[in-house]
Amino acid sequence: MPTSRSAPVSPAAPKRPVRTLPAAASPTWPATNTTTAGPIGGNKVDKRAPSITLTQPATATYLLNQVVAASYSCSDGGSGVATCAGPVGSGAAIDTSSAGTKTFTVKATDNVGNTISQSVSYTVNYAFSGFLVPVNNPSTVSTGKAGRAYPVKFQLTDASGAFSSSLSAVKVITYRSTSCGAFSTDPTDPLETSTTGNSGLRYDSTANQFVYTWATPPAGCYTERAAGRLPYPSRQFTEGASAMSADEIETHYCRYVEEVINYQHLDRLGAYLTSGVVVHAPGVPPGLAGARQVLASYFRGFPDFHLTIESVLALDGDLLARLWATGTHQGAFLGLAPSGQRVSVSAFEAWRLRDARCAEQWLHLDLLELLHQLGAAHPVEPAVHSRPS
């Protein structure tokens, strides 16, 4: 039998010595570069303006020279408030040194430049305690004969009771026709004192009171109002029968020019023009809306529009006035862009009256001369050119 052989065995490889390395030392960093491990947060951007709390002054009426302390504060939830300021500091007295409407504005800025402002308007007025004798205060109605002149007396004071003597404190004194039925249940008292002269205002320094001589209109019931920085309380009068004289018509028209035109109180048109007044101007609707439209176009084009009466004549219920119109072209007018040009032109107005108010109206300005002063290259069709028939 064949003899089996075993495969040769290779001699074992010699073993290599194993060398152990020492542990590596941890690196040491300067203390200024150390940090706590963790996630890195995002950047914050402040885009919101501060907030303002304005408590005083409020939208209210204060008396002349009344001491009113301003009260306001500012806050910001982001970068913080850098500045917070008004006309005076919070806690200081606001301006009440003159009558009129005033604006108080607080501005705030944060530390990244976001800015905000908040404003409030307030009114400063005189103290008015009512009319003095011979005129009664509501609800008693003073009665007298039409055509006579009556003294209307009153006083104006500041917050401390000091009298005001400035005639400029009273802008205009007007009256309006009122339904006599509105006074039917009120007590009446005759006006014992009358005076002479046309309507006018003066100050009596001896009695410390304003005295307005009121030349009464035709028979009817009226409410009289003294308008200063704000309307003062009104008083009712009723008169006996009488027709409106030429002098009264002329005085009535002068009041209209001053109150409606020069002070631009379009809300008072109804006191001088009938509700269905015919306004002789092309393209103008009838009634008070038409009259308002014509005047508003002048006021928009010339915000300081002013009429000066050179002469006025009333005869048989009609009136004709020769006028001088001035103004500064600061708004669009007859298609012309504002030029800033100061203009001065002649004008006339005619009224046909009914029941002491204008029932037909013609108002004509020398528009060719006006356009010449504005430097218009081509003539423009006048807005008002009709003539009284």
Residue 253 placed within a domain? no
Nearest to 147 by CA among 182, 191, 189: 191
Residue 7 placed within a domain? no
Q: What is the CATH number of the domain that holds 137?
A: 2.60.40
Whether 387 and 269 map to the same domain: the answer is yes
Residue 22 placed within a domain? no
Whether 117 and 130 map to the same domain: the answer is no
Whether 131 and 198 map to the same domain: the answer is yes
Residue 361 placed within a domain? yes
Whether 232 and 273 map to the same domain: the answer is no
Residue 40 placed within a domain? no
Whether 286 and 230 map to the same domain: the answer is no
Q: Is the pTM of this model over 0.85?
A: no
Residue 30 placed within a domain? no
Rg of the chain over Cα atoms, rounded to whole angstroms, equals 41
Whether 110 and 132 map to the same domain: the answer is no
Rounded Cα distance, 285 and 278, in Å? 9
What is the tally of structural domains in the chain? 3
User: Which residues, in sequence order, are bridge partners of residue 211?
Assistant: 153, 202
Whether 150 and 220 map to the same domain: the answer is yes
Residue 368 placed within a domain? yes
The label of the residue with tokens 């002054």 reads 57
Whether 148 and 221 map to the same domain: the answer is yes
Residue range of the domain that includes 281: 264-389
Q: What is the CATH number of the domain that holds 85?
A: 2.60.40.10
Under 8 Å between Cβ of 291 and 269 = yes
Nearest to 235 by CA among 212, 261, 264: 212
Whether 131 and 90 map to the same domain: the answer is no
Of 103, 125, 147, the one marking the end of a domain is 125
Residue 27 placed within a domain? no
Of 125, 160, 176, the one marking the end of a domain is 125
Q: Which two tokens stand for residue 206?
A: 């001896």
Helix or strand or coil: residue 33?
helix
Whether 134 and 86 map to the same domain: the answer is no
Whether 288 and 347 map to the same domain: the answer is yes
Whether 58 and 110 map to the same domain: the answer is yes
Q: What is the CATH number of the domain that holds 303?
A: 3.10.450.50
Q: Please list the pLDDT of the chain residue by residue as tens digits (389 residues).
A: 455 455 455 555 555 555 555 555 555 555 554 444 445 455 567 889 999 999 999 999 999 999 999 999 999 999 999 999 999 999 999 999 998 889 999 999 999 999 999 999 999 989 888 888 888 777 777 877 766 778 888 889 999 999 999 888 886 676 766 666 666 677 777 776 666 666 678 899 999 999 988 877 666 677 766 654 333 333 344 333 334 677 778 888 888 999 899 999 998 888 889 888 999 877 788 889 999 999 999 999 999 999 999 999 988 778 999 999 999 999 999 889 999 999 999 999 999 887 678 889 998 889 889 988 998 845 444 444 444 44
